Amino acid sequence: MIDKKNILIGVTGGIAAYKVVEVASRLKKSGANVRVMMTSAATEFVSPRTFQEITGNAVFVEMFGDAAHFHVAHIALADFADMVLIAPATANFLAKAAHGIADDLLTTTILAFDREILIAPSMNTKMFENPATQANLEILKSRGMKILEPATGNLACGISGKGRLPEPVDICAAIEKIFTGTVLSGKKILVTAGGTVEAIDPVRYIGNRSSGRMGFEIAKAALSAGAEVILISGKSELAPPKNLKFVKTESAIEMREAVLKDFDSVDAVIMSAAVADYRVKNPAAQKIKKSAETLTLELVKNPDILKELGNLKKSQVLVGFAAETQNILEYANKKLVEKNLDFIVANDVTAEGAGFNVSTNIASIIWRGGEVENFPKMSKAELAEKIIERVADLLNKDKKFFPMNDNQ
Ligand code: C5P
């Protein structure tokens, strides 16, 4: 989730600033693009040079240090970042941020920033528990900033108590959590799940072994990533997840209608439903009675919903599934092209731990251009996360650039 994210770290003047060097290093190793701004007090504890070497990017301290760029530095930094981490956050920083004081580059940048801010306070226990600090934290929380509770333990001032900066690995985990919850915010995702039911008569139908699990997990992963989700489901015994629009359908024709109704308004469609290729041409109006030795049902082809979406597609990301029993990659690749998809998730439904009615899957993702990602056996929930991560990457691919010269 952190890969290719733009993370801005604001370091204020606390002894724990040295721990943030490790945070920057871990984020960078996870593939993030990391930039650091420091208050001048912070530079008493760690040299800007250290952060510069770790992140490979210039470090910003002075509001007016560079006459040619001073007027854009805070805006450019704010525009660059997908999220801001303030660590360690001093009591002084909390007070200034709570009251909108912008008297240096760091606090000014915070005012110009309107996305996720994670604050990791670190200070002496009495300073942390002081009602002024607590009131400031309440103000910041009420404005949507996330506060990482300080840990309890030995403090630099010699006492033991609450106020330690959490370990770098825990700070990084909190950042990861923020991205998990926001990569799809503002996006609308349509997911189909389950198997279609094609009536033979009012009692019988042609169906398939799909349980709906894969699609339901995808819908849940999209929800956790912050998306607005429409889940259109064929036959499935699963309880619909909360907080999404749930549309129950039966036949392929009904599913097609439901999907087309919302298609124009969504950013991505993930079609994991097992749609019947054929339906009974003339379903009987009454229950068919047992008489002749043989019974012939005439079947007609169902519309290929995904193929139709592939033709209609404007900017939507389209993901399909290929459940196969042989020649998996070859068939999947053919569908990828025929249905004009961004990627296809292929699996051998005969393999143990894959396919219908089990909670795990063994899948490959095939991209336009032939690139193949092979995944080991994993839960459908984990695979759903991988699929959602890739959809989010496609939807967020127009990355902001950083309009400043690092050598300045
Ligand atoms: O062609 P095939 O059925 O194997 O393709 C599978 C993919 O196409 C799945 O994503 C499935 O949901 C979708 N599909 C569809 N309409 C059909 C058949 C399959 O949208 N009639």
* Nearest atom in ligand 1 to 259's CA: 20
pLDDT value at position 182? 80
Percentage of residues in the chain with pLDDT exceeding 70?
95
Mean pLDDT across the chain: 92
- Residue 158, CB-side half-sphere exposure with 13 Å CA sphere: 0
So what's the pLDDT on residue 73? 77
Q: What local confidence, expressed as pLDDT, does residue 345 receive?
A: 97
Does 123 score more than 80 pLDDT? yes
User: Which residue among the candidates 132, 135, 156, 157 is catalytic per the annotation?
Assistant: 157
Helix, strand and coil content of the chain, in percent to the nearest 5, comes to 35, 25, 40
List, for residues 26-56, the tens digit of each pLDDT value: 999 999 999 999 999 999 999 999 999 999 9
Predicted pLDDT at 210: 92
**The pLDDT of residue 16:** 96
- Domains in the chain with CATH codes: 6-180 (3.40.50.1950), 188-396 (3.40.50.10300)
60 Rama sector, left if φ>0, alpha if ψ -120 to 50, beta otherwise: beta
Q: Is 332 in the pocket of ligand 1 (CB under 6 A)?
A: no
Q: Residue 68 — pLDDT band, cuts 50, 70, 90?
A: low
Is 344 near ligand 1, meaning CB less than 6 Å away?
A: no
Q: How far is the CA of 207 from the centre of ligand 1 (A)?
A: 14
CA 329/CA 352 separation, integer angstroms:
18
Lowest mean pLDDT among 9-23, 122-136, 259-273, 345-359: 345-359
Considering the chain, what percentage of its residues have pLDDT values greater than 90? 77
- Amino acid (one-letter) located at 278: Y
Please give the pLDDT value at position 66.
61
Give 365 Cα–ligand 1 centroid separation in angstroms. Answer: 16
Instruction: Work out the average pLDDT over 257-269.
Output: 98
The helix (H) or strand (E) run that includes residue 388 is helix 380-395
pLDDT digits 0-9 by tens, 194-220: 999 999 999 999 999 999 999 999 999
Tokens encoding 311: 């033709």
Ligand 1: which of 275, 325, 333, 344 to mutate, most ligand atoms within 8 Å of CB? Answer: 275
> Which helix (H) or strand (E) is 318 found in, with range?
strand 317-324
Confidence of residue 374 (pLDDT cuts 50, 70, 90): very high
pLDDT, position 37: 96
For ligand 1, pick from 304, 308, 325 the residue to mutate: most ligand atoms within 8 Å of CB: 304
pLDDT digits (tens, 9 = 90+) for 143-196: 889 999 999 988 887 888 889 999 999 999 999 888 877 889 899 999 999 999
Q: Pocket of ligand 1, candidates 218, 271, 299, 345: which has the most ligand atoms within 8 Å of its Cβ, to mutate? A: 271
Whether 66 is in the pocket of ligand 1, judged by its Cβ within 6 Å, is no
Catalytic residue flag (residue 172) = no
pLDDT value at residue 408: 32
What does the alpha-carbon distance between residue 317 and residue 340 come to, in Å, rounded to a whole number?
Answer: 10
Average pLDDT over residues 321-328: 89
Ligand 1 centroid – CA 67 distance (Å): 59
Sorting pLDDT into bands at 50, 70 and 90, what band is 398? Answer: low
> Is the per-residue pLDDT at 334 higher than 80?
yes
Q: Which atom of ligand 1 is nearest to the CA of 272?
A: 12
* 122, 147 Cβ separation under 8 angstroms: no
Q: Is the CB of 150 under 6 A from ligand 1?
A: no
Residues 117 and 110: beta-carbon distance below 8 Å: yes
Please report which residue ranges of 201-280 form alpha helices under DSSP H: 213-224, 252-263
Residues in the chain: 408
Task: Point out the ligand 1 atom lying closest to the alpha carbon of residue 303.
Answer: 21
